[in-house]
Amino acid sequence: MRKVVSMLKKYEFILRNLDCANCAREIEEKIAENEKFERVVVNFNTLKLTYESENENRELIEKLVKSKEPDVEVIDVKSKATKEDNKINFQILRLILGMGMAGIGFLAGLPSVISNIFVLIAYVILLYRTILNAIKIWKISKSINENFLVTISCFGAFLIGEPFEGLMVIILYEIGKILEDKAVHKTRNSISDLMNIKPEYANLKTNSQTREIAPEDVKIGDVIIVKQGEKIPLDGIVVSGEADLDTASLTGESKLQNVKIDDKVLSGSVNVQGILEVQVTEKYENSTVSRILELVENATDKKAKTETFVSKASKIYTPIVIILAIFVAGFLPFISEISYAQSIYRALIFLVVSCPCAIAISVPLSYFSGIGKASKQGILIKGSDYLDALKNIKQIVFDKTGTLTKGEFEIKEVKVYDADYTKERVLELAVLGESFSNHPIAKSVLKSCNIEVDLSQVKAFEEIVGKGLCYEIEGKKVWVGNRDLVQTEIQEKGTTIFVKIENKVIGSLIISDMIKEGTKQAIENLNLLGIKTKMFTGDNKQVAEEIANDLGIQEVKAQMLPTDKYNEMEKMLKQKQNSDKVAFVGDGINDSPVLARCDIGISMGGVGSQSAIEASDVVIMTDKIEKIVEGIQISKKTSRIIKQNLVFAIGVKIVVLILSTLGISNMWQAIFADVGVTLLTIMNTLRILSIQ
């Protein structure tokens, strides 16, 4: 019986020396089989093992890991020791020594017996690690992997009188593995460089002195000093100083941001010029930089359909090829004129080709690269499944306020409908109510008018979702909101806030909202991509249609409550084609039900907004709509490269298998079909990081 998930704790470890994506999948499945562990994920891209359990069970975890990969070490996440360079250097030295022994054996012109001794020494030097791993895995789990296949191929070649071919198999295999390790390591480092935003220390101010401490040790309310050239380690409010900040690592924007006293600053930003004293408002684990790094690092744990399919296919691929190899070795002499030695040689080629590393590595690495590149552009994508889905968007729905427009309203005009009231009094009554509201329009109105009021007069304040608000003053009921709230037939051109006392509408505020820069071009680009653009808004129909026409949005629905948006999204999802995706773009707070219900929820202006990150699948770290177009382009490029890698890898393997059956290909081609193809697919994957 499985454990109750709510009682489990999450644990994380690093799997050092894990250099095979297929092995990562096998380790994940092996641990998941044990009933003590839930939600097991082995992320080959980050070398991280995560699972949930009642206890850490580290000894059991290590045993299960080594049952599949004896060389893999389970180490703490905080450990900085990687031994990558030492491991690769040792492999290179062993390779050179083995090749030297082989060269003496074949080329030195020594007596036959001595030459054979040198050849055997070369076999031992080059194959001992592979043989030991194959034996350990067979002994522990009674299973075979590429170590076993390569060992059988090399010894088989030696036994049928082709010792040179056998040595070339292991030499080319080792060269390929070294290059493969370097390529994978380079990809991981490239993505790490893209996301190199984690601060190493914080300058904590204590009385008149400062001292360096870890960001994790800083408490809310502490004051830290950020000097020129340093990263801001935690989110906070500037209490002293002025500086220009580089926020490119968070938003992808190169323009510097000037901050001064009372401005909010985000961790991960770099102080380019000036000095700041910042009062911390969030613990490190809740800071912007921590949440971004966690989101990006865990994104590829959510696998796309392509990734899942490849993982399942690789399970049956190798057994099928092994069965075919046995058939070739045993039955080919019966249906042709070749000898058993020749049929065995061809079967050995089958075994070398059967290793699925190229397929197993290239797909997850491509998604990881795509997510890393998007992050550098200020686009946080929560999983490879969402990255994959972006390319299939056929309809995209936008909220208006704060998404297409700035959400910063200005009062254009104050109108009076009752001679007993003045413009000043109408404005004052509106401000009294809006002062208690957190709605973006309310905040903008207050900022725009800038008048002082006595808030102690307000009684029984109530906010009415999607309509406005009401309160009591001097024993009278006041409503401030849209036409539906005050129930009036009065029509005004533009967004209107009506003010009603008791049963009489006494006036209104005509407000305007500015369209964001670059939005029109972004909508045009989406239309050119064949994506149908729509707008859902609670604003009146006339204002909504004016904005939609100006931007080129194809369809608009106005005067909608949050429930109306949700119900309309339900209809769209029922009517769409199976493979098509419907996206919704909103602010991540008011539109969270729709963001959660649609195929792809995209939050705008997500910097520092926890609700935006939680509600959506994609978070745009700036308010720029054009980032959506960039995300779609990254998705399409990633998908193209994955298809290229799969077609190339599978195609080459099939060709070599057919040619080996016909006796045309040899071990050289077989090694290329394994490690050579793996290396080329990894190098092709690196192209994702160069997307402009």
pLDDT, one tens digit per residue, over 556-565 is 998 888 788 8
Model confidence at 302, in pLDDT bands (50, 70, 90)? low
**Residues facing residue 73 across a β-bridge:** 16
Model confidence at 3, in pLDDT bands (50, 70, 90)? very low
How many whole angstroms separate alpha carbon 180 and alpha carbon 172?
Answer: 12
Model confidence at 306, in pLDDT bands (50, 70, 90)? low
Q: How distant, in Å, are the alpha carbons of 347, 360, 639 from that of 365?
A: 31, 9, 12
Active site residue 246: no
Q: Are 302 and 386 contacting, i.e. CB atoms less than 8 angstroms apart?
A: yes
- Three-state secondary structure string covering 622-663: CCCCHHHHHHHHHHHHHHHHHHHHHHHHHHHHHHHHHHHHCC
**What pLDDT is attached to residue 46?**
74
Neighbours of 183 (CB within 10 A): 20
> pLDDT exceeding 90 applies to what percent of the chain?
23
**What pLDDT is attached to residue 483?**
87
Q: Is the pLDDT of residue 340 over 60?
A: yes
Mean pLDDT, residues 445-449 taken together: 78
Select, from the ranges 178-192, 355-369, 646-660, the one with the highest average predicted confidence (pLDDT): 646-660
In the CATH scheme, what is the code of domain 5-82?
3.30.70.100
Select, from the ranges 3-12, 391-400, 617-626, the one with the highest average predicted confidence (pLDDT): 391-400
Q: Are 453 and 428 contacting, i.e. CB atoms less than 8 angstroms apart?
A: yes
How many whole angstroms separate alpha carbon 157 and alpha carbon 165?
Answer: 6
**What pLDDT is attached to residue 4?**
44
Q: Is the pLDDT of residue 413 over 70?
A: yes
Model confidence at 280, in pLDDT bands (50, 70, 90)? very high
Mean pLDDT, residues 308-316 taken together: 64
List the catalytic residue out of 235, 399, 539, 623. 399
Q: Are 40 and 198 contacting, i.e. CB atoms less than 8 angstroms apart?
A: no
How many whole angstroms separate alpha carbon 426 and alpha carbon 416?
Answer: 7
Q: Please give the residue that has the higher pLDDT: either 437 or 499.
A: 499
Q: Please give the residue that has the higher pLDDT: either 553 or 349.
A: 553
DSSP state of 453: -
Q: How distant, in Å, are the alpha carbons of 214, 252, 404, 416, 437 from that of 482?
A: 51, 38, 21, 16, 15
How many whole angstroms separate alpha carbon 150 and alpha carbon 352?
Answer: 6
Mean pLDDT, residues 77-104 taken together: 74
**What pLDDT is attached to residue 335?**
82
Q: Quick one: CATH architecture of 219-282?
A: Distorted Sandwich (2.70)
Mean pLDDT, residues 204-217 taken together: 87
Mean pLDDT, residues 336-347 taken together: 83
Q: Is the pLDDT of residue 589 over 70?
A: no
**What pLDDT is attached to residue 277?**
92
Q: Is the pLDDT of residue 145 over 80?
A: no
Q: Is the pLDDT of residue 2 over 70?
A: no
Mean pLDDT, residues 533-555 taken together: 88
How many whole angstroms separate alpha carbon 269 and alpha carbon 256?
Answer: 10
**What pLDDT is attached to residue 466?**
77
Here the tokens at position 398 are 């936008």
Would you tell me the crossing angle of helices 112-141 and 163-194 to the nearest 10 degrees? 50
What residue spans define the domains of the chain?
5-82, 219-282, 405-514
According to DSSP, the β-strands at 581-586 and 600-603 are parallel
Q: Is the pLDDT of residue 388 over 60?
A: yes
How many whole angstroms separate alpha carbon 468 and alpha carbon 142?
Answer: 69
Q: Is the pLDDT of residue 569 over 80?
A: yes
Mean pLDDT, residues 459-465 taken together: 89
Model confidence at 190, in pLDDT bands (50, 70, 90)? low
Q: Are 605 and 402 contacting, i.e. CB atoms less than 8 angstroms apart?
A: yes
**What pLDDT is attached to residue 29?**
86
How many whole angstroms separate alpha carbon 135 and alpha carbon 113?
Answer: 29
Q: Are 285 and 312 contacting, i.e. CB atoms less than 8 angstroms apart?
A: no
In the CATH scheme, what is the code of domain 405-514?
3.40.1110.10
Nearest to 41 by CA among 285, 291, 300: 300
Q: Are 507 and 488 contacting, i.e. CB atoms less than 8 angstroms apart?
A: no
Q: Is the dihedral of CA 239, 243, 248, 252 positive or negative?
A: positive
**What pLDDT is attached to residue 142?**
63
How many whole angstroms separate alpha carbon 126 and alpha carbon 240?
Answer: 64
pLDDT tens for 37-53 read: 988 888 776 788 888 89
How many whole angstroms separate alpha carbon 106 and alpha carbon 124?
Answer: 16
Neighbours of 23 (CB within 10 A): 24
How many whole angstroms separate alpha carbon 105 and alpha carbon 108?
Answer: 6
pTM of full prediction above 0.75: no
How many whole angstroms separate alpha carbon 236 and alpha carbon 227?
Answer: 15
> pLDDT exceeding 70 applies to what percent of the chain?
85
**What pLDDT is attached to residue 505?**
93
Mean pLDDT, residues 132-136 taken together: 77
How many whole angstroms separate alpha carbon 663 and alpha carbon 673?
Answer: 16
